Structure 1
Amino acid sequence: MSLTRFIPYAILIALIIFGGYQFKQHHDTKAAYNKLDTKYTALKNNSKQKVSDDTKKFLKAFYNYEGRPKKESINGLTTKKLQNTLFQTYDQLGKEYEMPKDLNYKSEIKNTTIYHARDEYDSEAKVLATFDSVITINGKKSDAKTLAEIKLKFQDNKWIVTGYKTLNNVSDYQGS
């Protein structure tokens, strides 16, 4: 008789243990799914076209301006650290030098091409960009071919620029 009294308690304990095990399995599976979903989203958005488009947006925002470049033009396209690095010289120059009123200065880029080191990226990318930099001062144009190495990181469903440097020669490119 005493054995039949403990059977319901044993079943209850077994159900609690099994329920706890199921809860842990569900939690682990959900965590693994979220990790894979995040990686899938990054991979889905890492096509050459998406990386190229976001790189070109940055280049246009950085190089297309009249008068002086503005740090705000690349907000959301780069990290704050890179913005400060790129505009450090302009910020200092702005404090020491006032642009003459009769100076019409315009900068723009044309013929932008993005070269990819790899076909797919996980959450970081490195590309080589070539473009023609056209500077117009009081109606006189000067253009130069520019090479740049650009590092990007996938963040908030877009590629943002984390590193930028101009190159003297394509052999200086550190991509793979």
Structure 2
Amino acid sequence: MLIRLPVIFLLFGLLGIFQTGFFTHFNIMGASLNLIFILFYIIVFFENSKKYIQGIFSAFTAGFFLDIFSSFYFGTSFICLLIIAFILKHMLELLRKKKGEYPITYFISLFVLSFIIYNLFLAISVYLLNSHMKVSLLNWIFVIEIAYNLLFAVFGFYIYKKFKLYKIEE
């Protein structure tokens, strides 16, 4: 556990650099990739639903890097991600009672819901803080952004499953 947290911090930092330095050139019709949110979601999704340490640490670290690399007020992303982590943990606990494992359908549906909630919280915070920025959620670019991020999230889902299977077999 002690080695996981620094590795998670470094992964968020590395993905933050890739997101702002490299992947900004690969937006699709104005929709950009949010690698930090994808990693945060994967960590919280696969963490034991009874444990919260890694999820809280991931929310703090992801929020830190999202706030550094964005023009939103500092702390906004952290609060949004912390709320999403607790909502996601609760939903996964409810789903776990019905089935012992989490299939890709749970992953996809909860990712889309979490991504919408995250962007909705950001839009509300921008509105409440009287910022001059505009955050629009109800347009086709947002739908493209969800699909674009979902593609990479599903890729991350299978990579995590592969590494977890490899780790168990050793």
TM-score range, shorter chain: under 0.3
Relative to its length, the structure with more helix (as a share) is 2
Higher relative contact order (Cα pairs below 8 Å, separated by 6+ residues): 2
Q: TM-score, normalised by structure 2?
A: 0.27
Q: TM-score, normalised by structure 1?
A: 0.26
Which has the higher Rg, Structure 1 or Structure 2? 1
Bigger fraction of residues in strand: 1
